[in-house]
Each structure stands twice: as structure tokens, then as C-alpha cells.
Structure 1
Amino acid sequence: MEVIVVATRNVVLSQHQHELVESLVTSGRHQNASEVLREGLRLLERRDAEDEAKISALREAADRGREDLAACRCDEIAEDDLDDFIGQLGARAAARAQSAD
């Protein structure tokens, strides 16, 4: 593994964060504090990418919904049936998400 030092930074940590970094290094899980911080940054990058994908999917769903409304492709739901309808939508979405895994 080639290590290229791009920049050295001073980082201010809370006492809790300092102790966490120390425990991760002491446990052998990471060789040094830099490894701990790089792993944290990788996790942040992954989370941000996942969040962006979710936002993109929600925007696409909203666009489809608006298109369906404009084209009158919709069903009216009585207010008394709304909770059941939303529950069914959630169950279908969960099933789709599970089958995608």
C-alpha cells in the first residue's frame, strides 16, 4: 500500500472522541489515529452517497406522481381508508426494497 501524504492538519476532538480514537488504536483495530480518521471519512462519504441516492429516488417518485396527477392517473381514497392505504404502500415498498437486496 502506497501512502501519499497530501496535507497535515490539526484536528480538535472532544474528550470522548479522543478516547474513542485511542481505544480503537489500542485495541489493534487501527494502527494509528490517522487510520481511524480516514475510516470515519470513508463512512461519511458512503453515507452521503447513499443519502444522495435516496433523495434522487424520492425526487423521481415525486416527478412521476406529479405526472400521474397531471394525466389523471390516480385513485381517490376516502379519508377513512387513508391509513390503510398508506400502510399498504409501505408494505409494498418494503417488499421491493427487500427483493432488491
Structure 2
Amino acid sequence: MPTRNVVLSDHQHALVESLVQSGSYQNASEVLREGLRLIEQRERLDAAKLKVLQQAANQGWDDIAAGRYVDVANDQLADFIRALGVEAARRVRPAG
């Protein structure tokens, strides 16, 4: 297994030591590997969120091109957003 030297701040060093001393991890390498797993997980989640946002943006542009939109005047925007919130809440509540 490859080895690598890393430089930690005093705070990071204390955290690693604390986690090892508590018995949560057997050694510093386990702590760092867990941290890397969490970074990988976050990167996958961020990529999935970005993909969904890109799809939503594309859908929005397609809707605009097809004329599927509502033009809302500035003085009506708060009421329009409020109505959207009410409709969204109605859709997620179970019937009954």
C-alpha cells in the first residue's frame, strides 16, 4: 500500500489523536481513509445535484421555448410565490 506524508494543522492533529484515543479508529490512517470516503461521497452527491439542476435548467429553457410559462409582474411576485408554496404543500400532503 502506498504511503504519503501529510501536514496537519494542530487542530487536525488533535482531532485525529482524539479519534484514535477514543477507540473510534485504530490508527491515524483509518481516520484519514474515512475522511477520504466522506469526500468521495460528498463529491458524488454534488455531481448528482448538479446533474439534476442542469436537467431542470434544460427543462426550463425548453418550456420557455414552447411558451409554457407565466409572466408575473413585480408587484404580483410575492402572491405568485405564495400560491406556488400552497400548491406544493397540497401536492405533498397525503390525501385524506
TM interval, shorter chain, is 0.7 to 0.9
Q: Which moved more, 1:72-81 or 1:32-41?
A: 72-81
Structure 2 CA distance for partners of 1:48 and 1:83, relative to 1, 3 Å: farther
Number of paired residues? 89
The answer to whether 1:31 aligns with 2:26 is yes
- State the match for 2:53 in structure 1: 58
1:72 partner amino acid = G
Structure 1 position 86, deviation (Å): 3.8
Q: What code does the residue aligned with 1:49 have?
A: R
In the aligned structure 1, how far is the partner of 2:61 from the partner of 2:42? 28
Question: How far did residue 83 of structure 1 move?
Answer: 3.1
Amino acid at match of 2:41: R
After TM superposition, what 4+ stretches of structure 1 lie above 6 angstroms from structure 2? none
2:78 to 68, 76, 83: 83
Whole-angstrom distance in 1 between the partners of 2:20 and 2:8: 15
In structure 2, list runs of 5 or more residues that go unmatched.
Answer: none
Counting aligned pairs with the same residue, the percent is: 57
Q: What amino acid is aligned across from residue 36 of structure 2 in structure 1? A: L
Which of 20, 38, 44 aligns to 2:39? It is 44
- Aligned to 1:67, which of 54, 62, 69? 62
- 1:12 pairs, out of 7, 11, 27, with 7
Offset of residue 73 of structure 1 = 0.7
Could you state the TM-score of these two structures normalised by the residue count of structure 1?
A: 0.79
**Aligned-pair distance for 1:84?**
4.1
Gaps of 5+ in 1: 97-101
SS at match of 2:70: coil
